[in-house]
Amino acid sequence: MPLEWRLVEAIIERALEEDLGAGDWTTDSLIPENHRTQGTILAQAHGVLCGAEIAMRVFQRLEPAVEFPHALADGAPLAPDMPVLRVAGSTRAILKAERTALNFLQHLSGIATLTRQFVDAIAGTGAQIVDTRKTTPGLRLLEKYAVRVGGGRNHRIGLYDGILIKDNHLMALGGDIREAVQRARQSAHHLLAIEVECTTLEQVRQAIEAGADGILLDNMPLDLLREAVQLAKGRVRFIEASGGVNLQTVRAIAETGVDYISVGALTHSAPIVPMHLEL
């Protein structure tokens, strides 16, 4: 799914607002209004690019007629000193937009890069890397887009577009999975799938019998995970694993036969890919 630009404009606007406020005293004092220049954003590390079009819109917001003689596409591999985006136009506009454009690029490329590492680590296994709702407040749609750019897939976007019955729900209900699935089936609309978080084989069995569409195997040791997969394969539409996932453990988890592995770190702890702008 592509970015919904309708929603991105407001995010860009707020980012510019918090940096520019009443105006950029330095640039407006120093640089004449009609001064024009060309700048290049350069990567300073290896990684996967994400946010090129967003960065372009940041510059355009301050000067609609700005031009981009060169631009890599999202998903492009990055290396140190590689030109990512070349921008030509009003010097004032370029300098005012610089930091905001870089903040988007570095953050989203960081997420795409980390995602790519997880995706590569399980290449050939048949499993897929998915994200979570552990995102930076206000940036969920962009961060989930960065996961897709990095080769991952999305989990549900929020609480509103999928049913995931978690331990806390079951605890509040006294642990009855059958009852939980039934209530969800009766209340939620029929285009939402129902997934049940399980930590024991007994729960897996109950979820299957209750008619869940999928199961989430949380924090299971590899042996148990394998057993759970064998129990559930073919009896639910999908099997997902989560918990204790890192670049060292992810391949072994994938090889148990799960369909999806969800990784919170993709969006909550990815370090940036450093970049800078040179005039």
Which of positions 210-249 make contact with a copy of itself (CB under 8 A)? 213-214, 237-238, 240
Across 243-273, b (16+ Cβ under 10 Å) vs e yields bebeeeebbebbbbbbbbbbbebbbeebebb
User: For a copy of itself, which residue of 64, 65, 81, 168 counts as binding (CB under 8 A)?
Assistant: 168
Classify strands 194-198 and 214-218 as parallel, antiparallel or unpaired.
parallel
Please give the C-alpha separations between residue 132 and each of 157, 162, 226, 252, 278, in angstroms, as whole numbers. Answer: 8, 12, 22, 20, 36
* Torsion angle of C-alpha atoms 218, 223, 224, 227, degrees rounded to 10: 120
Q: To the nearest whole angstrom, how small is the minimum distance from the Cβ of residue 15 to a copy of itself?
A: 4
Stretch that binds a copy of itself, among 73-81, 114-122, 126-134, 227-235 (CB under 8 A): 126-134
Q: Which residue has the tokens 């407006």?
A: 28
Q: To the nearest whole angstrom, how small is the minimum distance from the Cβ of residue 224 to a copy of itself?
A: 21
Stretch that binds a copy of itself, among 1-9, 67-75, 79-87, 221-229 (CB under 8 A): 1-9
Question: How many residues of this chain interact with a copy of itself, rule: CB under 8 A?
Answer: 97
| CA separation for the pair 96, 28 (Å, rounded) | 9
With binding defined as CB under 8 A, does residue 86 bind a copy of itself? no
Q: Which is nearer to a copy of itself, 28 or 120 (CB)?
A: 28
Interactions with a copy of itself, residue window 257-276 (CB under 8 A): 259-260, 268-269, 271-272
Q: Is 99 a catalytic residue?
A: yes
With binding defined as CB under 8 A, does residue 2 bind a copy of itself? yes
Q: Is 134 a catalytic residue?
A: yes
CB 180 within 8 A of CB 150: no
Which position among 14, 36, 166, 237 bears the catalytic label?
166
Q: To the nearest whole angstrom, how small is the minimum distance from the Cβ of residue 229 to a copy of itself?
A: 16
CB 252 within 8 A of CB 272: no
Stretch that binds a copy of itself, among 10-18, 41-49, 114-122, 246-254 (CB under 8 A): 10-18
| CA separation for the pair 155, 267 (Å, rounded) | 12
Which position among 24, 98, 218, 240 bears the catalytic label?
218
Please give the C-alpha separations between residue 217 and each of 125, 248, 271, in angstroms, as whole numbers. Answer: 18, 19, 27
Phi, psi of 165 (to 5 degrees): -85, 110
Q: Is 233 a catalytic residue?
A: no
Question: What mask, x for binding a copy of itself by CB under 8 A, covers residues 63 to 82?
Answer: --------------------
Positions marked catalytic? 99, 134, 166, 197, 218
